[in-house]
Amino acid sequence: MARYSKKHAREVRRDRVREKALEKFEIVGDRLEGRGREILYGLGVLVLAAALGYAFWVWRGRKADEAQQAMGRAIQIASAEVGPAPLSGSTAMTFSTERERAERAAEEFRRVADKYGDPYRSQARYMRATNLLAFDRAQGISELEALAREGDGDVAAWAKFALAQAREADGQYDAAAALYRELASARDPKVIPADTVNLRLASALEKQGRKQEAAELLFQIVKSAREARDKDGKPVAPSASARAAEDQLEKLDPARHAQLPPEEKVDNFPS
């Protein structure tokens, strides 16, 4: 029983980390939309990768201290601030440009991938690829394509999601939409929730001029979220993706937004 409780607690923490990571990812993606290919994707996934990387160590509880420390150093670099040098006496790490940070992070992740086995190797390769997009886009995309084909489990799914976003940022909407559809129909939606993928798919469809199709997809995301119930039959709080989908639908098609079922109040303090 104790073992089951610990396992359940780890799963709950994992789901919470994924939700937080996805929320941060969507916020960063919205902020960077239209501000350049290099930063549109790279920073958003970097936030996500860093969150998942830290969480991974907590869940698994492995004793590979050296590998964990090496990954920690690489993630610290990848998550460092970009801006003026810190004040005297500060130990904060900063870089003058996004490119400088990405180059340094990519090199650190390469070292981890070269030295350690899985799961560290696969995650390091993935994180390196996302950083490569900032200064060697062709190589970064090539690495993501390889991971999407050859990677196992979560890494392969995230690589495919990253690749889809890179295609979208490059204006290759057909290719992006195809990858998003593959992910949306995946057997394990916990890796990347279907709502998150469908939100990006709707964005790609809208950019293609297929606004009615995009609006219908957004409508279904929000409708499902509003109708979702927990085991006690109570309304469930919408995910970050569902909230973003509602905002996007209201802007894209106000008439369709008005047809949504009423939103029920969620009890944030269950008894």
Q: What digits encode the pLDDT tens for the residues 163-199?
A: 999 999 899 999 999 999 998 887 665 678 888 899 9
* Number of Cβ within a 10 Å radius of residue 135: 18
The pLDDT confidence band at residue 86, using thresholds 50, 70 and 90, is low
Task: Decide if 226 contacts 245 (C-beta within 8 A).
Answer: no
Strand (E) positions, 8-108?
81-82, 94-95
* Distance between CA atoms of residues 151 and 142, nearest Å: 13
Q: Which stretch, 46-50, 60-64, 230-234, has highest mean pLDDT?
A: 230-234
Residue 271 has what pLDDT? 44
Q: CA angle, 185 as apex, 183 and 189 as ends, to 5°?
A: 70
Question: Where are the chain's structural domains?
Answer: 1-83+93-170, 173-271
Q: Which residues pair with residue 94 across a beta bridge?
A: 81
Residue 117 above 80 pLDDT?
yes
What the block records as the tokens of 266 is 């969620």
Q: Which stretch, 59-73, 183-197, 254-268, has highest mean pLDDT?
A: 254-268
Whether pTM exceeds 0.85: no
CA dihedral (20, 165, 197, 199) in degrees, to 10, reads 90
**Cis (ω within 30 of 0) for the bond into 119?**
yes
When the pLDDT of each residue in the chain is averaged and rounded to a whole number, the result is 78
Helix, strand, or coil here: 265? coil
CATH topology (fold) of 173-271: 1.25.40
The pLDDT confidence band at residue 255, using thresholds 50, 70 and 90, is very high
The pLDDT confidence band at residue 23, using thresholds 50, 70 and 90, is very low
Residue 235 above 60 pLDDT?
yes
**CA-CA distances (angstroms) from residue 67 to 64, 72, 139, 237, 245?**
6, 8, 25, 38, 39
